[in-house]
Amino acid sequence: MFIYVVQNGDVLWEIADKFNSDVNKIVEANGLPDPNTLLVGQSLLIPEEPATHTVKPGDSAWKIAQSHGVSVQDLLWENRILNPENLYVGQVLRIPEKSRPEIEVNAFTYMLGQDAVPIVNEVGDELTYLTPFAYIVQEDGSLTPIDDDAAIGEAIAHGIVPMMSIVNFTTNIPGEDIAHKVLNNPDAVANLQSNVINTMKDKGYRGLNIDFEYVLPEDREAYNNFLESTVNKLHEEGFFVSTSLAPKSSPDQRGLLYEAHDYPFHGKVADFVVLMTYEWGWRGGQPRAISPVNEMRKVLDYAVTVIPRDKILMGFQIYARDWTLPFQPGQNAETISVEEAMERAYAHNAQIQYDYVAQSPFFRYSDENGNAHEVWFEDARSAQAKFDLVKEYGLRGLSYWGLGYPFTQNWTLLADTFDIAKL
């Protein structure tokens, strides 16, 4: 596939005709609600017809394969040719797709119960891990349970590895007190580890993600000790362990989110880590890209110096935010799906703009009450930019937050760009 940006006066059938594609395939690849409605600046994934080559005098299998950047073996296999000498002038050969890098893909889902089933079913072929979010740790090491049975069952049906998630916070509780009390109490730690192992065995989880945030700087060593002992205990039981890390760009970055997250130590003891490379455009802050590529690069530049590249899953948020303007401190943006963002753009005939530094699209509109809005979201271009980071840095893969926000272009492009590992 390739990406086309809609220009003034474009209509879908003309775009399809221009690129020898198909209107229905374009609609499906992009999840377009109405093929008759396009916006200037909107990005479209254009499915291409399979490449072909007509054999000319002097052609050989080797020469054709070289000219298209594929192997002779793949060329012969694609065309079911046993003898490479049996080519004839005028023969039309299909050119095989170039090999794609294989990565692992995780997705967190806050959608639980039966609500998780259709969501996991829709994108399950593109996932290595599914992580229902999340068991909340209590001060004594007990866990607040979640309704994750349906999500786990659907994951297993799609060959996805279910990964348990434990956290020390809620939307209303930052979590530093809980972390402090648990991490500095050997009995609470032992109780937590026992509860985790029992839950994993009971539910069918194969691994654990530890997402402790807002840990006090003075508890950094206690957190490291907890991680090491937990990894050792879970490895003995045959489970893997991953951790979630705040997006640091240097080892001495200040702030409650960052100081207790010891990148080198996590890189040493964990089987892999999830870098939470999103939320620059957070709901309580100024309008801006949620996952700006220029900021993500700073995190990756540091991370790969202290964590093995094959242990890093780069975070990618697949939701959008709508801010009311002018921005007022204390006023939260609305979190919506990418497809809801596009519906608002269609409704107000907004022109899609693109920030080439952040590699992120945005638009502005005025609602029925005359209030101005600014919406930052994701599209095929911004997804491609993030996929390019994974390839450029040679990372283990991607981790999405979170399922439940429809974004058709992402999943279409992901499948076209990578082979997704199934364990």
DSSP 144-164: E----HHHHHHHHHTTPEEEE
Is the pLDDT higher at 318 or at 51?
A: 318
What angle do the packed helices 186-203 and 220-236 form, to 10 degrees?
A: 40
Report the pLDDT averaged over residues 333-343: 97
Cα separation of 297 and 277, whole Å?
9
Report the pLDDT averaged over residues 76-92: 91
- Give the N- to C-terminal CA distance of the chain in Å, as an integer: 27
* CA-to-CA dists, residue 25 to 36, 160, 239, angstroms: 14, 27, 42
Instruction: Report the DSSP beta bridge partners of residue 54.
Output: 92
Report the pLDDT averaged over residues 50-78: 90
Q: Give the confidence band of 86 by pLDDT, cuts at 50, 70, 90.
A: confident
Report the pLDDT averaged over residues 146-167: 97
13-28: b (≥16 Cβ within 10 Å) or e:
eebbeebebbbebbbe
Q: What is the pLDDT of residues 256-277, one digit of tens each?
A: 999 999 999 999 999 999 999 9
Whole-number average pLDDT of the chain: 95
Catalytic position from the list 176, 213, 259, 340: 213
Q: Angle at the Cα of 300 (from 286 to 308), degrees rounded to 5?
A: 150
Q: Give the confidence band of 130 by pLDDT, cuts at 50, 70, 90.
A: very high
**What letter does residue 202 receive in the DSSP assignment?**
H
CB distance 420 to 103 below 8 Å = yes
Per-residue tokens: 153? 């069952």
User: Is omega for the bond preceding 246 within 30 degrees of 0, making it cis?
Assistant: no
Scanning the structure block, which residue is given the tokens 């980071």? 389
Is residue 213 among the annotated active site residues? yes
The strand ranges marked E within 110-172 are: 129-132, 135-137, 143-144, 161-167
Burial class (CB in 10 A: 0-12, 13-18, 19+), 9: exposed
**What letter does residue 115 receive in the DSSP assignment?**
G
Q: Give the confidence band of 247 by pLDDT, cuts at 50, 70, 90.
A: very high
Helix H or strand E encompassing 337 = strand 334-337
How many residues comprise the chain?
A: 423
